[in-house]
Structure 1
Amino acid sequence: MPDRLMDVNAYTTLDFAEAVVTGYDFEEETAAVLNATTDREEPKCIRLQLELDNATEKHLPAHMEELQLAPDQARTLADDLEKYADRVEQARSE
């Protein structure tokens, strides 16, 4: 990923994921890094960070998105991810 803003290391949640970036007049598939983290000392929130590869046909400026989630929000997201993961696994097995 050129011009990466996020550090990718052994602790990164997903150092590669397939992503789609969509704008009003374009849609491009690209690679992404996704990370869930919090501060080691006195954590105040869960940070969900996403950075898409900016080496696309429609060059994207280097940028990173970050959501700051409360514990209940992180659990709601985790529940939905589990539910949809089950649905995809079931569809693949049929």
Structure 2
Amino acid sequence: MAGRVLDVTAYTTLDLVEAATRGDGWREEGCAVLDVRSLADDPDTVVLDFEPDPTSVDRVEPHAHSVSLTADQARSLVEALEDAIEAEGSDRPRRLRS
């Protein structure tokens, strides 16, 4: 990805995922980087970093998003991901599914 914000290395969790950037009345699809890391000075915090490929999104400047989770929040996310890939699917309301 040209002009990226995040460093992509051999240690990056997912260096190429399908993604969409949405706004009011528009949607652009392309690839993105999704990384999971912990902080050296706070190992109980898990950080998710997400960056849409700047060459596939014309409506926004190159940027990345980071979400900091506690260990319990990260475990809840793992459970939600596992539920979503089960044969019966997610129990979330249909409007919240993509």
Indicate the TM-score class for this superposition, using the shorter chain for normalisation: 0.7 to 0.9
Tell me if 1:12 matches 2:12.
yes
Q: CA contact under 8 A between 2:34 and 2:48: conserved in structure 1?
A: yes
Unaligned runs of 5+ in 1: 90-94
What displacement does 1:38 show? 0.7
Q: Match of 1:8, as an amino acid?
A: V
Q: Which has the higher helix share?
A: 1
**3-state SS, counterpart of residue 10 of structure 1:** coil
What displacement does 1:56 show? 2.8
What is the TM-score of this pair, normalised by structure 1? 0.83
Corresponding residue for 2:60? 60
What displacement does 1:74 show? 0.2
**3-state SS, counterpart of residue 50 of structure 1:** strand
Q: Match of 1:6, as an amino acid?
A: L
Q: Which has the higher strand share?
A: 2
CA-based RMSD of the aligned residues comes to 1.9
Q: CA offsets per residue over residues 49-93 of structure 1, 9 Å max, x none?
A: 00001213634201110000000000000010011112388xxxx
Measured in 1, the distance between the counterparts of 2:58 and 2:46 equals 31
Q: How does 1:7-46 map to 2 (within 5 A)?
A: 7-46=7-46
What displacement does 1:11 show? 1.0
What is the TM-score of this pair, normalised by structure 2? 0.80
Assess, with a 3 A threshold, how the Cα gap between structure 1 residues 22 and 37 changes in structure 2: closer, same or farther.
same
- The percentage of counterpart residues that share the same residue type is 35
Unaligned runs of 5+ in 2: 90-98
